[in-house]
Structure 1
Amino acid sequence: MAAIPLNFGFLLLPEYSMMTLASATEPLRMANRLSGEQLYRWHLLSATGSPISSSSGFALETASIQNKLSKEFDWIFVIAGFGHETHRDPAIHRYLQLAAGKGVGIGAMSTGSFVLARAGLLRGYRCTLHWEALRQFSEEFPGIEVQRELYVRDRSRLTCAGGTAGIDLMLDQISADHGVVFAAEVADVLLHSRIRGADEFQRMAVNLRYHIHDARIVKAVELMEQNLESPISLDEMAALCSLSVRQLERLWRQIFECSPKTFYVNLRLAEARRLLRESTESKASIAMRCGFSSASHLGAAYIKRYGRSPGLERPMSVGDRSPT
C-alpha cells in the first residue's frame, strides 16, 4: 500500500490543456471521495505563482515553485499544450532537476516531455507525449527513446500522452496504491467503462477512423500517414498493398469518393495546417516536412484546398494551440 496521502504537484505551463489537467486530477478526487480518506493531495504550481491560462482560456491560481519545496511531493508532473517551443525556463529546469535529485518522481503530460528532455531528465529513459508532437520531439531529441503508447512508466519517470490518457494513468496509479478493485470502482463512477493499458496506442486505428474493412486500403492509408515528408508513389503503394494501380484507384473512389492522390495531398495539407498554427517553423520548412517542394508549392495547394493563404494561419488563437 502507498503512503497516505500521496502528494502530487502539477506544474502548469501557459496554454496547458485543461482536459489533461482534469483527467489527471479527477480520478484522485474520486478516490478520496469513495474511500472517505485523503488518499491523494495535489497542488497547482507555476514558475511565478500567478494565474496560468489554459488553451481554452480558463485561468487557475497556482503556487510559485519558489515557495513550494520540491521535496514536499512524491510526484511532480509538467502539464503543457502546444507552444512547447517557447517552454525553455531555466528556473523550471533547475526546480525539476533538484526534485529528481531528492528522489521525487518526475512526470509529464501532453507535450510536457519537451520540458523534461530540455532539463536533461529523460536521458536513458523511455517516454511518450501527444502523438501530434512525436515527430518534432524525435527530431529535437534523437537520443531519447520515444514511444506511441498512452503512458510510459520507466523507473522514476512517468510520461503521458495527455487528453483522456491521464485518466488511465491515474487509475493505474490508484490500482498500484490501493488495488485493482478500488481502481475499477473509481473508473465506474467516472463513467470510464474500460481502463486502458499503458501500451495501447494513442490514435484510433485507421480502420475505425475511416470505417474501412478492406485491409489493403487500411495499409495504404497507413503508408500515406507514415510518409508525409517523402511521399511514396502510387505504383509503390499499390505494390506494397498487393494491388494494381487501377484496383487501388477504383477501390479508393468507392470508399472515399476521391482519388488516392487527392486524399494523400489532403493528409499532407492537414499536417501543414497544424504546423502553421502550432509551431514557429518557417513556411519553407513546413513545406518540406509535408512533402512539398517549396513554400510557393505549398501555398498554391493550400489555397486550392482551404481557400486562404498559409500565412493567414499564423495569427493563432489560443484555443487552436493545444491538443486535447
Structure 2
Amino acid sequence: MASEVTRFARPPATQRIGVLLLPGFSLLTQASCVEPLLIANQLSGCNLYQVLTLSLDAEPVRSAAQLACITDHALDDAPAPLDILLVIAPSPLPYPLPARLLEWLRQRHGKTLGGLDGGGEVLARCGLLDGYRAALPWPRVSAVSQGYPTVVITQTLFEIDRNRMSCAGGTAALDMMLTLIARDAGAELAGRVSEHFACERIRLADEPQHVPLRSRLGHAPQSLVEAVTLMEANIEEPLSTLELAEHLGVSRRQLERLFKKYLQAVPSRYYLDLRLKEARKRLRESDQAIGEIALAVGFSSGAHFSTAYRNHFGLTPREERLVV
C-alpha cells in the first residue's frame, strides 16, 4: 500500500541533485523528473534525494506555458558539490546559450550530467556528450547527429551511459528517474513509486520513441511508405515480399532496392524486425501467453518464434519476461 515504508538494512546515502531550468522548459518534463525523487523519499522514509532547482539568474524561469517557476539558486550561488546535474531545456532551443552557462557546465565535466528534452542538445553543444550515447526528442535527431557527429544519438526513450543521462522529455523522464531509483534503492521501491503515479510499468531504456512513419522514412518514395504501412497492418498474417510488391504495383526487385537504399535491409528482414518488436512489446506490457503472442506476430511454431526472438534480441521470450 502507498502508506507503507520501504525498510533498508542500511539506508543509501543522500544524493544531491541539481535541476537547471532554462527558459521555455516543459512543465511535464520537470514534473516527471522531480516528483519521482520526492515520492521515493516519502515512500522510503529516507532522504534519498535532495533536489535543488537552479536558474541562470535570480529571476523566476518561465516555462513553455509561460508559468513562472521560482528556483532555489542561481548559477552564481549554486551549492557544491552536486552528485547529479540535470538540464531541462526546450526543444528545439529557440535562443543562443549564454557563454557563461556553457563554461559553467563544462566545469562540471566528470560529474554525472543529464540532459532532458532540449537539455541533451545543450550538453552536446558543450562537448559533454562526445563519445556517449544520448537520447534526444526524435524531431532533433537528424540535425543534432549532423552537428555533433561524435555523439551517439539514439531514438530510444532515454539513455544512461556511464556518467551521462539523457531522455526525450515528457513522460520519458519519469521512466528514466524510476530506473535511477531502482539502481540506487532497488526495484521494489521503484515499482512502488511507479504505482503511485498509476504507471502500468516502467518502460526500459531500449524502447523506441514513437516516431511518425513519414518522419522515420524522410524523403523516401510513397511506395516505400505504403509498403511499411502494409507490413505494420499485417503483423499476424505476414505478406510475402512478392505479395507486397503486387499490392503496390511494383516489381519485387524494385521493392527490394527501395528497402536497401532507404532502410538498409531487405523487406523480409525489416518485416521480421517489426514483428519481433511487437512481440517484445506484448511480452513486456501484457500477461498474454507466449504461445498466443507467437501466433499474434505471425509464427505458427512456438519453437521457431523462440529461436527467432533469441537470435534477434539475445534472450528468449521467457527470459524477456524475467527481465521485466
TM-score range, shorter chain: 0.5 to 0.7
1:35 corresponds to which residue? 44
Aligned to 2:95: 86
Q: Which amino acid aligns with 2:103?
A: R
| Residues 156 and 82 (structure 1), Cα distance of their counterparts in 2 relative to 1, 3 Å cut | same
Calculate the TM-score normalised by the size of structure 2.
0.65
CA distance in 2 between partners of 1:91 and 1:2 (Å): 38
Structure 2 match to 1:234: 223
Aligned partner letter, 1:172: T
The residue aligned with 2:75 is 65
Offset of residue 243 of structure 1: 4.9
In the aligned structure 2, how far is the partner of 1:196 from the partner of 1:155? 19
Letter in 2 for 1:55: A
Matched, 1:197 2:204: yes
| Residues 245 and 117 (structure 1), Cα distance of their counterparts in 2 relative to 1, 3 Å cut | same
Would you say the 8 A contact 1:19–1:163 is kept in 2? yes
**Stretch of structure 1 that moved more, 157-166 or 80-89:** 80-89
Identity in percent: 32
List alignment gaps of at least 5 residues for structure 2.
Answer: 1-9, 232-240, 250-324
Correspondence list, 1:261-300, <5 A? none
Equivalent position SS for 2:17: strand
Answer yes or no: is the 8 Å Cα contact 1:87–1:115 preserved in 2: no
Q: 1:92 to 1:227 in 2, by over 3 A?
A: same
After TM superposition, give the deviation of residue 114 of structure 1 in Å.
1.2
Partner Cα distance (1:242, 1:137) in 2: 38
What corresponds to 1:19 in structure 2? 28
Between the aligned partners of 2:74 and 2:224, the Cα distance in structure 1 is 58
Instruction: Give the corresponding residue for 1:167.
Output: 174
Residues 218-275 of structure 1: CA distance to partner in whole angstroms, max 9, x if unpaired? xxxx4x43333x34153896599645677349xxxxxxxxxxxxxxxxxxxxxxxxxx
Q: Indicate the residue corresponding to 2:306 in structure 1.
A: none
For the structure 1 residues 197 and 235, does the alpha-carbon distance in structure 2 shift closer, same or farther, using more than 3 Å as the test?
closer
What amino acid is the match of 2:66?
A: G
Rate the CA distance shift 1:236–1:60 in 2: closer, same or farther, 3 A: closer
Q: TM-score, normalised by structure 1?
A: 0.65
Could you say which residue in structure 1 is the equivalent of 2:195? 188
Structure with higher RCO (Cα < 8 A, 6+ apart):
1
- Map of 2:236 onto structure 1: none
Contact in 1 for aligned 2:11/2:46 (Cα 8 Å)? no
Instruction: Say which SS state the counterpart of residue 107 (structure 2) adopts.
Output: helix
Q: What's 1:153 paired with?
A: 160
Aligned residues of 1:12 and 1:45 also touching (Cα < 8 A): yes
State the SS of the aligned residue for 1:99: coil
Secondary structure of the residue that 1:7 maps to in structure 2?
Answer: strand
2-side partners of 1:114 and 1:163: how far apart?
15
Contact 2:167-2:176 within 8 A present in 1 as well: yes
Cα distance change on mapping 1:244 and 1:105 into 2, 3 Å: closer
Which residue is 1:256 aligned to?
Answer: none
- Aligned partner letter, 1:91: R
Instruction: Give the drift of 1:89.
Output: 1.7
Question: Matched residues in 1 for 2:127 and 2:242: separation?
Answer: 45
Q: Quickly say closer, same or farther: Cα 1:242–1:111, change in 2 above 3 A.
A: farther
Consecutive unaligned residues in structure 1, runs of 5 or more: 207-221, 250-324
State whether residues 13 and 48 of structure 2, in contact with CA within 8 Å, keep that contact through their aligned partners in structure 1: yes
Residue number in structure 2 paired with 1:125? 132
1:169-216 CA distances to partner (integer Å, 9 max, x unpaired)? 111111111111111111111111100111111117x7xxxxxxxxxx
Shift of 1:82: 2.6
Provide the C-alpha distance between the structure 1 equivalents of 2:216 and 2:13, rounded to a whole number of angstroms.
Answer: 45
Tell me which residue corresponds to 2:62: 53
Question: What letter matches 2:21 in structure 1?
Answer: L
Contact 2:91 2:137 in 1 (8 A): no
Query: In the alignment, which of 179, 184, 187 is matched to residue 177 of structure 1?
Result: 184
From the superposition, tell whether residues 45 and 87 of structure 1 become closer, same or farther in structure 2 (CA, over 3 Å). farther
